[in-house]
Structure 1
Amino acid sequence: MRVPNDGENASHTIVAVGTYLNGGKSVYLHGEDHLRQVADTFDSPAQALVSFERVHGDTMRPGPAPMTDTERAAAEARTSLGTPTAEPEPSVPGPETVPAYAADPGDHDGLLDAFLDEHGDWQKWRTWSDETTHAIHEDQTLRIERVHEAPAHETAWTVAAYETPVSDRMWLLTLTGATPAPVLQTLLDSLAEGEAFETAIGSPATEKTVTQATRALTEDGWKHTIDGRRIRWTSPAGDAGVQFDAFAAQSRHSSLTTWTLWAGPSIDRPAWAIHASPYTPAPMLAHLSEELAHGTGTRQPQAAARERRASLGASPPAIPPAKAGPAASHTQGRHR
């Protein structure tokens, strides 16, 4: 406890009375820190308390003696050493807005389910395997095959068009598993709007259709180069592109890859790719090109880090040639 000094001095001095452990002497202490001294001793705690109360009864309080400034500083130092400073929780960065071709794949199965729910002229067909879903237009000339567990760099989607339900295939388009959600959504929207039927039967891609399909890239300043039979449009950052193969476009084999849309380190090591055959409708390709040039999407920061690590590591396997489209003969029944 603190009691005033003698006289009218406004300063204060710590005084205390206490007993040493194990039956030791009782003492009356005066002062603090290096000035603290034993002012008196007593044979018993009772004698010490009676004497102390006689002098300081007005301010006497039970309990331990107040800590001196030195004792208080030492206690604070021990506390700071014994208890580590709590560090703030690291903030979790939110998704960043990026060009559509650099966006996350998102939920491909969810996009397909939403497409089928919104468009009653498409029906989901049940096959012998749960690994694959077929969606077929009501006129039986346009079909989608979705491979649910396909790796990121392998074909996960196949879209095929036919002149009649029993005729040969007119055109074929495939997408790999890592295709960004905005790009896939653009393709599904094109199928819903009927652009898949706008095909000049019997004539391959022409200069007019190529110009129509790539107009958005040209207007957006994508780099235009010609390498033999291949014409390429590359994004300003060099991380995406569209390639047209003039030789494949004139071939009678409709499954040859004429158009390649891609993004990633290079066309030979793409993060994702779309391959399309010669008769793929120009309006559909135009909408896809426009999405690459002007569309945006979101990407989680960790996805960008994985993509950088992948580009520095081993090259992903090459994209296989487009395979045959889904056939109605593989189905066993259907349900909505």
Structure 2
Amino acid sequence: MPPHDDLHTIDGDVYVSPRYLAATTAIGDPGLAPLLDLGWDLEHDDLGNAYVHAPDRKVRLGYLPEGEDDGLWRINAYQDPFGPPTWGVCFNNSCPTEFVTAFTTALAEAYEQGPNAYLATPKPGSADRDPFLAVVPLINRGWQIEHPRWGVFAIQSADGLAGLEFTTGRLDPEAELTTRDARWQLWAGTSIERPAWYATASTDTPVALIKAVTECVSDPAPLPRWREETYSYVEGMAQLTRVIPPRPSAPTPLDVQRAAARRPAALPASSVPRWSTTSRSALPGPRR
């Protein structure tokens, strides 16, 4: 059971493990919250899509349940708010919401640090910008590097049901922002060709933001879900553990003291009738 969960507020009746098989919660609020907490602007269109903008318009998020494709979450950052995106990230409509929240939380922290953080271009060999740093959490948690193939570095979870691919060489910047042909692709399911969910990140996405997602994806703690909404998806692949109902907490000495203070004053002992084995039963009353 995850140590940080409050059993009184868990949204689900089972825990799903491994967490990358938990699917989406279909609730966008947790992913939007880290940016809205910074005072970013929130707008909606007539279809029900939501758009969040940084005050300087250099970072934009779209939550697009009525979008043109399955890219539910699209986040772009800009050197020039009127120019093309510097980097772009996409989470599809089946991606666990917790992974999106991990990204937006890291993005909010980077934005507060300034452009040198949220526009930090990856730099191989750098102490803090090397793309390999985003892979380290996966390696540390037992993911295995696949047999190398031309132009792609790939690593998979031990069960083969999740993976990360990093494409080397030159890519089309526009295609990276609008298709799955991006520098980074994270996925879960039985194959990358038809994944249960996926997330992509373009070439210049800061490594720290990608690392926040790989840290969250590979976390061994399970995620809570409602069984009837997820079981058909994870059947035969994931482990489901029933969420234990909360037990009433033991009263503290202060609780006992307060309860005693709320009780009415006791009556004199002489006025309280006592029962004993020698007491006579009540006599029958007169019959009508």
TM beyond 0.5: yes
Computing the radius of gyration from Cα coordinates, the structure with the larger value is 1
Contact 2:86–2:204 at 8 Å: present in 1 too? Answer: yes
Which residue of 87, 98, 110 maps to 2:17? 98
Amino acid at match of 1:267: I
Greater percentage in strand = 1
Cα pair distance change 1:205/1:278, threshold 3 Å: farther
Q: Residue 112 and residue 287 in structure 1: after superposition, are their counterparts in 2 closer, same or farther (change >3 A)? A: closer
8 Å Cα contact 1:255/1:277 also seen in 2:
no
Query: Given the alignment of the two structures, is residue 111 of structure 1 paired with residue 30 of structure 2, yes or no?
Result: yes
Match of 1:141 in 2: 58
Residues 74-93 of structure 1: per-residue CA shift (max 9 Å, x gap) = xxxxxxxxxxxxxxxxxxx9
Counterpart of 2:119 in structure 1 is 199
Per-residue deviation at 1:310? 11
AA of the residue aligned to 2:183 = T
Contact 2:123 2:131 in 1 (8 A): yes
Task: Pick from 137, 162, 167 the counterpart of residue 240 of structure 1.
Answer: 162
- How many angstroms apart in 2 are the aligned matches of 1:116 and 1:130? 22
Unmatched runs of 5 consecutive residues or more in structure 1: 1-92, 312-336
Name the amino acid aligned to 2:54: H
Task: Decide which moves more: 256-265 or 297-306.
Answer: 297-306
CA contact (8 A) 2:25 2:225 kept: no
Deviations 1:22-65 (A, max 9, x none): xxxxxxxxxxxxxxxxxxxxxxxxxxxxxxxxxxxxxxxxxxxx
In 1: Cα distance, 2:161 partner to 2:225 partner: 15
Assess if the C-alpha contact under 8 Å between 1:102 and 1:299 holds in 2. no
Mapped contact 1:124–1:135 kept (Cα < 8 A): yes
Unaligned runs of 5+ in 2: 1-11, 177-181, 238-288
The residue aligned with 1:253 is 173
What's 2:197 paired with? 272
The reply to whether residue 157 of structure 1 matches residue 73 of structure 2 is yes
Which is bigger in relative contact order (C-alpha 8 A, separation at least 6)?
2
Check 1:116–1:171 CA distance in 2 against 1; reply closer, same or farther (3 A cut).
closer
Shift in CA distance, 223/113, structure 1 to aligned 2, threshold 3 Å:
closer
SS in 2 for 1:244: strand
Q: How does 1:120-135 map to 2 (within 5 A)?
A: 120=39, 122-127=40-45, 129-135=46-52
Correspondent of 1:307 among 208, 219, 233: 233
CA distance in 2 between partners of 1:231 and 1:117 (Å): 35
Q: What's the counterpart of residue 263 of structure 2?
A: none
The amino acid that maps onto 2:131 is V
Does residue 211 of structure 2 align to residue 286 of structure 1?
A: yes
**What is the TM-score when the length of structure 2 is the normalising length?**
0.65
Question: Counterpart in 2 of 1:174?
Answer: 90
- Secondary structure in 2 aligned to 1:194? helix
Residue 245 of structure 1 aligns with an amino acid whose one-letter code is T
CA–CA separation in structure 1 for the residues paired with 2:19 and 2:234: 17
CA contact (8 A) 2:31 2:98 kept: no
Asked if the contact 1:254/1:278 (under 8 Å) is kept, the reply is: no
- 8 Å CA contact retained: 1:109, 1:148: no
Q: 2: CA distance between counterparts of 1:295 and 1:171?
A: 29
Cα distance in 2 between the residues matched to 1:214 and 1:254: 25
Report the RMSD for the aligned CA atoms in angstroms: 2.7
- Please give the alpha-carbon distance, in whole angstroms, between the structure 2 residues aligned to 1:171 and 1:299: 32
Question: Which AA in structure 2 matches 1:273?
Answer: Y
% identical aligned pairs: 22
Please report how far the alpha carbon of residue 170 of structure 1 lies from its aligned counterpart in structure 2 after TM superposition: 0.5
Aligned residues: 212
